[in-house]
Structure 1
Amino acid sequence: MLILCASIVIPFSSVKAADPAKGKAIFQQNCASCHNVHKKLTGPALKGVEDRWPDKKLLHQWIHNSASVLASGDKYANDLFAEYNKNAMPAFPAFSNEEIDDILAYIKVEEVKIPGGAAPAAGATAADAKDKGSDNSLLFGIITLVLAVVALILMQINSNLNKLANDKEGTATPESIPFYKNKAYIALFILVLFMVGGYFTINGAIGLGRQKDYMPEQPIFYSHKVHAGINQINCLYCHAGAEKSKHAMIPSENICMNCHKAIKEYAGPELFTAEGKKVDGTAEIHKLYDYVGWDPEAGKYTKPGRPIEWTKIHNLPDHVYFNHSQHTVAGQQQCQTCHGAITEMDEVHQFADLSMGWCINCHRTTKVQFADNNYYSIFEKLHQDIKDKKIDSVTVEMVGGTECQKCHY
């Protein structure tokens, strides 16, 4: 009987439980630009995603390669594909089934939370409480301040009681030193001021030059949502350097005119600025004509053109080397990884802080195309570790992606 129990327990104990914490890291790095648990973004809301798929293996296959599921004729997959304007989900063949299960575990944890950061619903898991605990720093600060005030009041009460006791016994009470003359209080105040000032100074210095959420006003209101989202113009049509050079490049006015020689009026959905001001799309097209010197009535260029002075949004320090093509071709990173849900933006803003820590975290979690890649043939130990099943994949960090001279030389 004991042997029978052991034979049942041992296989189950060898099954690795999904880790929501690991799933969160993978989700934020690879999925968050297109998906949210509670609301639609570029892709559907992920709450209840496992219940919507008839088979978990099919869900795994969809994440690994959505095109293969669509080709199989699965009704739910094809209906989903049609619902989102036939925008194909990027393939993630490097994800292991365990990593996908980690992501699904993280989604389940997030499902019980109320959107908008409210408290978890009844029955929330311990992982929820742990995750929520990181947002309680303000509450702890207020409690600390209240306790400090209470301590000062108690100290004053203690001083007054001592004075009353001394008066009753006829003992002379030393003259109390005013708060603002008390050396101990002054030293404590200076120490606290120094700590608070140092904290904000260091935080300010660390974030110096970063511009997350930066959204400058451009000379022409250009909507990526209309062009890349609704009209599904491929990013590479305008940003031809994204897969070929260090810079993705700002498209020339001639690329715009390839379409706008014929498209003279805007007939899409209403446009609004971030402040809620309505935008006249046709007037913005005519701003383009003015810059390039095009006469839409005559159908020809009638005056010299001048460059459009676009304001650059995504900037890296001069001492940082970044090659756009290396990340999009060799790294196979999607635009949304760094630029966010670009197909949903009327006015582009900086999605990520583009800090060194942000880049390093990406290198620590992103897997390279290691198998059948001659570029990595020199990493014999890693190839042997994969054969020996010591590791199942290779990240950018493992091939030197966090070495200082990779980006600073």
Structure 2
Amino acid sequence: MLSKRSLVGVRLNFHTLAVLFFMLIGTQAFAVDPEVDGSDEAVAAGKAVFNANCKTCHQLDSKLVGPALRGVSDRREISWIKAFIKNSTVLIASGDKQANEIYDEYNLQMPQHEFLSDDELNNLISYIEYGDVADPAAEAAAAGADGAAASGAGGGIPDEYLTVILVVLVVVLLLILVVLGLIISVLSKYLNKQELDEDDKEFVSQKFNLGKIIKSDGFVLIVTALVVALVAKTALDGLFSVGVQQGYAPKQPIAYSHALHAGTLEIECQYCHTGVEIGRSANIPSPNICMNCHTHVQNVQGKEGVSPEIQKIYDAVDNNKPIEWVRVHNLPDLAYFNHSQHVVVGEIECQTCHGPIQEMEVVGQHSALTMGWCIDCHRETEITTKGNAYYDKLVQIHTDSKDALKVKDIGGLECAKCHY
């Protein structure tokens, strides 16, 4: 067994080692740059530097245009952080692995900050690590409030659920009527066994009279209200459908098959509709474009001779007359729509508006193309901003929003956007 003196010596040695260990850890932690600390003065000064130079692209605890910054001193050396802040371009050009990984991930180069002094950089890192530490409980409460506000503000029942809700309500009402009928039947049987006055017996014993109910003022009023509501709804639906040609698929002068050309042969839409990338209208192809192929392709599915439909193209060219195609998609003159803006800038696929065009033997209007349909698209469609410097400033302005940048955020709901 160890003596009392030996035990005391072991304890002293343990305490000595512990003190030396923590001193060593502390030395390593602050040996990199002792000027980076969490003092109130340094954090306050660093916050001013952050707000002036970093706030538009970075947040401490969440990703913005650039990555979240808190904890960067645990992931990178202080000297590397300062070099990257001052001139990230130099680090990237030098082949620095960490700098190039950041550039590859965000596809952006950070502006140079050569004007920042070493003290300002120390204060900035102090703020990044120790400044504005959020209270988790407060954050959770704020998130709950925001969620409640959002659910209240965005309230609206989707149209597809309205029918289901109405059917459920009707079923519930019928069940209530059945239950009430059973209750009345049970009570009537019970009361008939009791000693009642003549008037009460007459009332309890009365029979169900359907004719009397139908002739009653209440029943007539309910039926009249339902008929009026049904007529009004039918009239409103008819008014809202004026000018809507969804499903319209007219017969064309030539039986041109999109299923064959765009589907089987995989010809790009832009080859025939040449204006779709350069102007407002997609334009209908001229017979000359058809002849680029049909000078050589004269029949269909191996049949001998020129097919009757292709012969119509030859006739149009020989007689120098246009093919009188029937317009399928018609927008009112008061609405402005630009194909190039949507196809080139917005990178919208043709099928988004025109449906599975590559499967259509006869082209028909797939979408409603109403004002509400366009507005819903502008509300839901996200803007592809990566790699497009045109949107950089808009992304910065949009930083306070939790939602992705959408068409509605860049004027997509402004009246003059489509009506001018």
The TM-score normalised by the length of structure 2 is 0.50
Contact 1:242 1:249 in 2 (8 A): yes
Shift of 1:288: 3.9
Q: 1:288 to 1:244 in 2, by over 3 A?
A: same
Distance 1:195 1:211 in 2: 26
- Equivalent position of 1:31 in the other structure: none
Contact 2:245 2:365 in 1 (8 A): yes
- Equivalent position of 2:285 in the other structure: 251
- Equivalent position of 2:417 in the other structure: 406
**Is 2:305 the counterpart of 1:293?**
no
DSSP-derived class of the 1:293 partner: helix
Aligned with 1:136 (options 137, 159, 164): 164
Structure in which a larger fraction of residues adopt helix: 2
Identity across the alignment (%): 37
Distance 1:392 1:132 in 2: 25
Shift of 1:353: 1.6
Shift of 1:371: 5.9
Post-superposition Cα deviations, 1:85-132, rounded to whole Å, max 9, x if no partner, equal xxxxxxxxxxxxxxxxxxxxxxxxxxxxxxxxxxxxxxxxxxxxx999
Distance 2:309 2:243 in 1: 32
**Is 2:418 the counterpart of 1:384?**
no
Given residue 218 of structure 2, which amino acid in structure 1 is its aligned partner? A
Contact 2:299 2:306 in 1 (8 A): no
Distance 2:182 2:417 in 1: 58
Contact 1:385 1:391 in 2 (8 A): no
Distance 2:181 2:242 in 1: 40
Q: 1:186 to 1:392 in 2, by over 3 A?
A: closer
Post-superposition Cα deviations, 1:37-69, rounded to whole Å, max 9, x if no partner, equal xxxxxxxxxxxxxxxxxxxxxxxxxxxxxxxxx
Given residue 262 of structure 2, which amino acid in structure 1 is its aligned partner? A
- Equivalent position of 1:195 in the other structure: 229
The TM-score normalised by the length of structure 1 is 0.51
- Equivalent position of 1:349 in the other structure: 364
Q: 1:346 to 1:238 in 2, by over 3 A?
A: same
- Equivalent position of 2:27 in the other structure: none
Q: 1:346 to 1:190 in 2, by over 3 A?
A: same
- Range that drifts further, 345-354 or 326-335: 345-354
Post-superposition Cα deviations, 1:224-247, rounded to whole Å, max 9, x if no partner, equal 121122212221111001111111
Distance 1:397 1:145 in 2: 42
Contact 1:360 1:402 in 2 (8 A): yes
Shift of 1:157: 7.2
Aligned with 2:220 (options 186, 210, 218): 186
Structure 2 residue ranges without an equivalent (≥5): 1-60, 63-157
- Equivalent position of 1:322 in the other structure: 337
Q: Which has the higher contact order (CA 8 A, sep 6+)?
A: 1
Q: 1:187 to 1:391 in 2, by over 3 A?
A: closer
Distance 1:283 1:357 in 2: 50
Post-superposition Cα deviations, 1:170-227, rounded to whole Å, max 9, x if no partner, equal 4477998834432111111112222333333333333333232332332222111211
Distance 2:295 2:271 in 1: 17
Structure 1 residue ranges without an equivalent (≥5): 1-13, 16-129, 269-280, 295-299
**Is 2:224 the counterpart of 1:204?**
no
Residues 53-68 of structure 1 aligned to structure 2 (within 5 Å): none
Given residue 205 of structure 1, which amino acid in structure 2 is its aligned partner? L
**Is 2:390 the counterpart of 1:362?**
no
DSSP-derived class of the 1:351 partner: coil
Contact 1:338 1:352 in 2 (8 A): yes
Shift of 1:401: 0.6
The CA RMSD measured in Å over matched residues stands at 4.5
Shift of 1:323: 0.9
Residues 233-248 of structure 1 aligned to structure 2 (within 5 Å): 233-248=267-282
Distance 1:284 1:225 in 2: 21
Distance 2:234 2:306 in 1: 42
Distance 1:356 1:256 in 2: 34
DSSP-derived class of the 1:232 partner: coil
Contact 1:220 1:284 in 2 (8 A): no
Q: 1:329 to 1:254 in 2, by over 3 A?
A: same
Given residue 350 of structure 1, which amino acid in structure 2 is its aligned partner? Q
Given residue 371 of structure 2, which amino acid in structure 1 is its aligned partner? M
* Count of paired positions: 260
Higher-Rg structure is 2
Q: 1:140 to 1:203 in 2, by over 3 A?
A: farther
Given residue 164 of structure 2, which amino acid in structure 1 is its aligned partner? N
- Equivalent position of 2:47 in the other structure: none
